[in-house]
Amino acid sequence: QTDTLYCIGCGAVLQDKDESKSGYAPTKTLEKAAEDEAVYCKRCFRLRHYNEVQDVELTDDDFLNMLHELSQKDALIVNLVDIFDFNGSIISGIQRFAGQNPLMIVGNKVDLLPKSLKQSKMRQWITEQAHLVGIRPDSVHLISALSKDHVMDLMEQIEKARKGKDVYIVGTTNVGKSTLVNQIINLATDESDVVTTSYFPGTTLGKIEIPLDDERMLVDTPGVIQPGQLSYYLSAKDIKEITPRKEIKPKSYQLNEEQTLFIAGLARFDYISGNDKQSFVSYFANDLYIHRTKTEKADDLYSSQKGELLTPPSEDSEIASMKRYEFVTSGPSDIVFSGLGWISIDQADTKIAAWAPQGVDVLIRKQLI
C-alpha cells in the first residue's frame, strides 16, 4: 500500500503505466518519489531540462478530475486568470465544475495594463468575456498578486464571499497563482517564498492548504499547462523575454495595405485590406522587437531572419512552423496571440492575416482598450 505520489512540477499524480498520459515517470523515478524525494514527471522533467515539449493528450485528466471534484465540495471557487492573457487562461468549463458553489473570477496582473484603463471598464469587459464562454461569475475582481495591499483587499472580499466555507483557488499555469498564494501565506506567517514561483509553466506545487481562522481551508490547487499558449513551446529564457514586467506601453503603427508586422519571430500580422492607411496598436512586452516590412517580402525575411533579427525564439526553443489565420473585423477588435499579446484595430471591415506557431491560439475579440 503506497501513498499517492505527485509531480512537483505540475502536481499530476505520478504513474509509470502510460507515457501518453499525464504524470508519467519511469519506475525508477517513482521509487525515488516513494522514498520522499521530490521528483518531476517526465513531461515536466524534459520541459525543464531540455526545453522539450512532449506530445501528450490535450485533456489533462488529472486537471479535469481535480476540477470535477470541485462540484462535490461546499466551497467558494476562486478562478485566477491572467488579464494579459484572458482567453488563454480562463478555464472554459469552470461554471460546470463549480456546480452550485459561488464562483469568483480574479483577474491578475492588472499592473501590466495602461493606468488610463478604468478598473470598472476592465471588470465589465471580463464579465462580458466570461459570459461569452458560458461563465457567470458571482463577482469579478482585479489584482496584482505582486501587491501586498491588493492581496489584502482580495482576502477581505474572499472572506465576505465564502460565508464560512472553504476556498479553492484554481487557475492554469503562469497566471500568478504561486505569487498570489505566496502573498497569502506571507500575510499569515510573514515567511517569504514558501511556494516556488518561476517563469516556467508547471511549477505550482500540488495542493497547498492554508488554514483560515475558522478551521476552514484555503486550498491552492495545481495548475495545468495550456497547450494553446505560446509559453508552452518556449524555453525559460524566451519566456522571460516575452513576459511583460511593467506597464505595457502601447505602440501605434500606421500601415498601408499589404504591409506586415513581425512580433519578434513569434507572430506575424498582415494588413490585407481595409480603409486604406490605418493605425494598428500593439500591446506586447515593451522590449519585444517589432519589425515592419512589405507582405510580399515577409516569407523570405522570416526564413532568413528567424532567430537572428527576429528573436526570440532563440535556438533553445523548439517552435513549429507558422500557421496563418484570416480575420475580418466587424467593429473595434483585438487580434490576440495567446500568451504573447495583441494588436488592436479600430475600424470595421478590415481584413488581416495573423500568424503564430502551429498549436498557439490566435483569436479575435472585442477591443479591450
- Interface residues toward ligand GDP, by CB under 6 A: 108-109, 111-112, 144-146, 171, 173-179, 197-199, 203-204, 223, 243
CB atoms within 10 A of CB 363: 16
CA distance 147 to 47: 30
* Cα separations in angstroms, 222 against 12, 175, 203, 268: 8, 12, 9, 33
Task: State in Å, rounded, how far the first CA of the chain is from the last one.
Answer: 56
Between CA 7 and CA 318 the distance in angstroms is 24
Minimum CB separation of residue 42 from ligand GDP in Å reads 19
Residue 181 Cβ vs ligand GDP, minimum distance, rounded to whole Å: 8
Give whichever of 204 and 350 is closer to ligand GDP, judged by the CB atom: 204
Q: Which is nearer to ligand GDP, 42 or 150 (CB)?
A: 150
Q: How far is the CB of 248 from ligand GDP (least distance, A)?
A: 10
Nearest to ligand GDP of 30, 80 (CB atom): 80
- 346: which 3 cell numbers? 479600430
CB of 341 to ligand GDP, least distance (A): 13
- CB-nearer residue toward ligand GDP: 146 or 194: 146
Q: In what order do the strands lie in the sheet with 75-82?
A: 139-142, 103-108, 75-82, 166-170, 217-220, 208-211
Q: Which is nearer to ligand GDP, 149 or 308 (CB)?
A: 149
Q: What are phi and psi of 249, to 5 degrees?
A: -95, 110
Position with the least CB separation from ligand GDP: 176
Distance CA 244, CA 341 (A): 9
- Measured distance CA(269)–CA(196) in Å, rounded: 36
Nearer to ligand GDP, 29 or 178 (CB): 178
CB of 237 to ligand GDP, least distance (A): 13
DSSP string, 245-312: -S----EEEEE-TTEEEEETTTEEEEEEESSSSEEEEEES-TT--EEEEEHHHHHHHHHHHBTTTB-S
Shortest gap between Cβ of 107 and ligand GDP (angstroms)? 10
Q: Quote the least distance from Cβ 288 to ligand GDP, whole Å.
A: 15
If the CB atoms of residues 242 and 364 are measured against ligand GDP, the closer one turns out to be 242
Phi, psi dihedral angles at 88 (to 5 degrees): -80, -20
